[in-house]
A and B are shown apart, each in its own frame.
Chain A
């Protein structure tokens, strides 16, 4: 082999990496480097306004978390938050998808409109729902008073017993369209012959749903659920806008607690260890999701 062809081959081998370089550089700067730094901070006592005080303390931040009462409250709230929201989003999304899979003349419009909540910014969602839940002038109190379900206005977001559930409802509202569109796409891939065969065998609509529809969309639903768990577990902006974590610690979830310790407490070391623990908890779900998506890689 002479020199020219050898360097040509090397150039050709380097081409794919060349195309990737800009994305890799930016990603290294804004994701890889920060993640490593978070890991580094988590081993230190690091308070932002006190730059002289960057002390290596080993795993003591993590130990602190385990004896931190708020950490456990936030963890429990996170578990309620994720399971409640994802389950309700799935049920509502599945129901809406089955309905929108039927034929009626304004189906196209209905399919387009149902996605709208999903396109809205979290700040607007927080704003809309705070206004709906308002103690003095809110429409929810008004409706419930009119139909006689409550006898006096209820301070929905100011009461620890209802605050978390109220914010969860806002999130359910925002996210169920994601399930609807995903499941709808799946329903359209179910072969018609399967329903015809079931019909001939005399299967009721419920049995058709159980034995034809459900098995056909199970894979899509599983993928969507994994994706949703991750997003919902990480999301904190709507809570931040609606209650800021209060009243008390009633609406503290793990990511929100980490954020607040960093943002208002400026305790970057402790906040870093909290967000690392959140990541570690989610890693299993991410792994399952990535395995499901692995088929995409081989194409």
Chain B
């Protein structure tokens, strides 16, 4: 806008409405945090006591000492890291191929990866369960990690293609003219430049895998159960113990929120690039 607004008008027209939007966006999160540090006496009061009478980490202690939660956290970490490894190992070469080569079937295959990203999960989850059972992969890390590749591979490929496309092909050609083989060009020229994009993609896979619930629920049992599934089971177990549940929710949500804030600028760029360009 060109007109310069006066301070008061800016406050009323922009800053206060923005505060309201932010309040809506953050209130449930803040409420979960507050609940998790309130003593039980505060939580069972109605009308609701908004600010804690005293802060306590009792719920966190109970969760960590008396439940399987620490193991579930570790399981989630292993699954998310595995999903990142499998996702990148398959999608980085694929995205390189889509970006640098023109070959028969390229359009069809790229469209295919776009379309399968939109298949309903229920379409895949039933036969995947049967398949994993036949392969003996139910309740194994590998089973859940493979399950998560159903969504991580298609979107990683599309995200990475736009990052690869952002690197001028002249650089590859210059390296070839200097006598570098294709693999040398990839290792010494392309990969270092695309690294920020790969890191962003890796973090995105990590977050979605960490957050994922349905595949994990179908494909995991007690041995490899991740936090999302465990927390959902706690809801059944500790019906009225909102202190423990919100403590668990906070522990699960905080790392991904911080990771997300950390990469959000680049991530948003990569995710919306397609939408903006068209």
A interface residues with partner B (beta carbon < 8 Å)? 13, 15-17, 19-20, 22-24, 26-27, 29-35, 37-38, 41, 48, 92, 95-96, 99-100, 102, 104, 110, 112-117, 119-132, 134, 136-139, 142, 145-146, 173, 176-177, 181-182, 185-186, 189, 195-196, 199, 205, 219-220, 223-224, 227, 230, 233-234, 236-237, 240-241, 255, 258-259, 262-263, 268, 271-272, 274-276, 278-279, 282, 286, 289-290, 292-297, 299
Contact = CB atoms under 8 A, between A and B. Distances in A.
A286 B120 CA distance: 11
Given A27-B116, A132-B31, A119 B260 contact: yes
Contacts of B153: 23, 26-27
A110 B20 CA distance: 11
Contact of B124 (A24, A31, A134, A199): A31
A123 B90 contact: no
Contacts of A279: 119-120, 123
A169 to B, nearest CB: 10
Given A104-B18, A127-B246, A195 B147 contact: no
Contact of B111 (A122, A199, A297, A299): A297
B26 A128 contact: no
Contacts of B268: 115, 181, 185
A30 B278 contact: no
Given A23-B91, A116-B26, 14 more contacts: A16-B106, A27-B116, A30-B147, A31-B119, A33-B127, A102-B14, A104-B18, A116-B257, A119-B211, A121-B253, A123-B252, A124-B231, A127-B245, A290-B114
Interface residues of B, number: 101
Interface string B39-64: 00001111110000000000000000
B167 to A, nearest CB: 12
Given A121-B213, A124-B252, A275-B126, A95 B114 contact: no
Nearest to A35: B123
Contacts of B210: 121
Contact of B131 (A34, A123, A125): A34
Name the residue among B22, B131, B252 with the largest chain A CB count within 10 angstroms. B22
B28 interface: yes
B65 interface: no
> Chain B binding site: helix, strand, loop or mixed by DSSP?
helix
Given A116-B26, A137-B43, A142-B46, A296 B124 contact: no
Given A41-B127, A259-B122, A120 B277 contact: no
Nearest to A192: B2
B272 A255 contact: no
A48 B212 CA distance: 25
> Chain A binding site: helix, strand, loop or mixed by DSSP?
helix
A233 to B, nearest CB: 8
B144 to A, nearest CB: 12
Given A22-B93, A112-B264, A31 B118 contact: no
Contacts of B96: 19
A16 B98 CA distance: 8
Given A26-B149, A119-B256, A255 B211 contact: no
Contacts of B1: 102, 195, 205
Nearest to B148: A30
A233 B271 CA distance: 20
Which 7 A-B residue pairings sit nearest by Cβ, starting from the closest?
A121-B211, A19-B97, A16-B101, A23-B94, A34-B127, A119-B260, A37-B127
A276 B161 CA distance: 30
Given A220-B276, A297-B111, A127 B235 contact: yes
Interface in B235-278: 235, 242, 245-246, 249, 252-253, 256-257, 260-261, 264, 268-269, 271-272, 274-278
16 contacts: A17-B97, A23-B91, A26-B146, A104-B14, A113-B22, A115-B261, A119-B211, A137-B44, A142-B48, A146-B47, A181-B268, A233-B120, A234-B118, A234-B120, A240-B213, A255-B122
Contact of B118 (A30, A121, A282): A282
Contacts of B218: 263
